[in-house]
Amino acid sequence: MLRNVLITAGSRRVPLVQGFQRALSQSAHGGVVVVTDVNPMSPAVYAADRSFRVGLSRDPDYIDQILAIAVGEGVGLVVPTIDDELETFGRARERFAERGIVVAVSRPETTALCDDKFATCGELASRGVAAAQSWLPESLPAQPPFPLFVKPRRGRGGVGAYRIRHERDLAFFLDYVDGPIVQEYLNGPEFTIDVLCDFAGRPLSIVPRRRDVIRAGVIDRGCTVNDPALIALAQACTTALPFFGAINIQCRVVDGTPVVFEINPRFSGGIPLTIEAGADFPRMLVDLAAGRAVAPAIGQFRDRLWMTNYEASVFLEDGRVDLPEYQPARAVGAVA
């Protein structure tokens, strides 16, 4: 029986917290959402039912901290949310499984590959999936096909990504960007494809979203698009690589053909649109973790549903700005 859900690195992921709260409230046994974070000012801390301060994902005892909280708080499902921790959680899945806890994360080999944008595109292309042509700086052709795109080989949120128009820009940004790769410039509309896979790697839901306005690497305005070509691309990606849980595929459509430029094996920032369109990833994950069968529902969502975002704020009296460390002696039992 699934008990509670733990979401790591809660940060600004209030809609994701709320999505799991709704999913648990609709389940037969109920449950609460626990959030961990390093920062007491993170808004998701105050949206969750319970929250605790932990160290950074690179700390040697990070997994020990999360496991202690998960066991003490009666957690049955852990949802990692940031790139930095995915490979670590992938390696620790069996430790959690021994305590009856499911971690919604892909294998460490998959997360490591997706963390490397050059390796991702190379692997997809080798398996017949349309992926952006990519080069390391030392392997660029003598006369590169401008325009190009330079970005960190390992990065997120669009940070350090630049369109390159000519040789002078290329030389500057190859020196300016830390650990760069070069990709062909994909001139076409941009899409994120949200995908949920079960724990055997089978895709259960695929929802393409057009990204009309992007802010800080996350969709600000856009809509769902029930496009067979985009859905087929996502299916090809899940055949090429084993994924478990939520992933998001970034692509552009060039001359009618969708081309992948990166994959993030985690929930996307635009997941509220996918959930609102009827593809309830949190509810499906809750069911999977509880051992209930979930039938594939590929293409079953509201087409052309638009989302336009705005900022919301949490207001706190000075004394409430607190995120306690987990104290096992004060642990709250599992929710029945």
pLDDT surpassing 70 at residue 335:
no
pTM: 0.94
Q: Answer whether 62's CB lies under 8 Å from 77's CB.
A: no
Predicted confidence at residue 329, as pLDDT, reads 52
In tens, the pLDDT along 131-143 reads 999 999 999 999 9
Question: Between β-strands 148-152 and 4-7, what pairing exists: parallel, antiparallel or unpaired?
Answer: unpaired
At residue 218, does pLDDT exceed 80? yes
State residue 156's pLDDT score: 78
Residue 153's pLDDT is 96
pLDDT digits (tens, 9 = 90+) for 46-90: 999 999 999 999 999 999 999 999 999 999 999 999 999 999 999
- Whole-number average pLDDT of the chain: 94
Confidence bin at 320 (pLDDT 50/70/90): confident
Q: State pLDDT tens for residues 164-212.
A: 999 999 999 999 999 999 999 999 999 999 999 999 999 999 999 999 9
Return the half-sphere exposure (C-beta side, CA atoms, 13 A cut-off) of residue 60. 0
Contact 27, 286 (CB under 8 A): yes
What single DSSP character describes residue 220? E
- What's the CA gap between 29 and 198, in Å, rounded? 21
Q: Whole-angstrom Cα distance, residue 21 to residue 16?
A: 9
